[in-house]
Amino acid sequence: MAPLCMSNLNIVLLGPPGAGKGTQAAQIRRSRGIPHISTGAMLREAIQAGTPLGLEVKQIIESGGLIGDEVITRLAFDRLREPDVSAGFLLDGYPRTIPQAEALDAFMAGRPLTIVEVVLSEEDVLHRLASRLVCGECGMNSQDTGGDHTCHDCGGPLVPRVDDAEEVVRNRLAVYRRQTEPLVKYYDGRKSFHRVNGAQLPDDVTRDILKALDSGVI
């Protein structure tokens, strides 16, 4: 089935672990009324639902293998063919590699694609993730601000994320630099590519992204 006709507001959100991509994606989704498509969330949902793709991914993970470009691309493109993306979309977690980016360009077939990189230094990533908590009930990310460690969304308990230990984070950053940073070079030079300072307060990052979208800079 061919991809649907999409609007001009088709966004790829890039950035290292801890850059706040999930927070920014939620803000953009609410502001612009376009779906937030997270390949990580889609993989987890597919595994939990026991879909054919989910069973395939589960087998790959349990065997110690890596989920390749073809599987992730199939997952992303199946989602991009759904009717709700006709008003645009925001991709979070795809593409992660040059082959995935090339596949996305071919899938879009000349339709506009905006790329936003949320920039955050390694030092800032480590500092931010050291204070990050996650709700044990709904999975929402939060920050350790010295409060009552209760989720603002559902009231569940906030606990440290197991993947935010410093050694794990450094490994995730190394994977990011090796696989995803080359995408910056791939997209750099396009008029639709824009960098935003991710070290600001979340509302200020959102402001800069939306300002750029509204101005047509990206």
Known catalytic residues? 21, 96, 132, 161, 172
Among 190, 212, 42, CA closest to 118: 212
Q: Give the per-residue SS3 of the chain.
A: CCCCCCCCCEEEEECCCCCCHHHHHHHHHHHHCCCEEEHHHHHHHHHHHCCHHHHHHHHHHHCCCCCCHHHHHHHHHHHHCCHHHHHCEEEECCCCCHHHHHHHHHHHCCCCCEEEEEECCHHHHHHHHHCEEEECCCCCEEECCCCCCECCCCCCEEEECHHHCHHHHHHHHHHHHHHCHHHHHHHCCCCCEEEEECCCCHHHHHHHHHHHHHHCCC
β 89-92/10-14 pair status: parallel
Q: For residues 37 and 76, what is the distance between their CA atoms, to the nearest angstrom?
A: 8
Q: Is residue 209 a contact partner of residue 200, using CB atoms and an 8 Å limit?
A: no
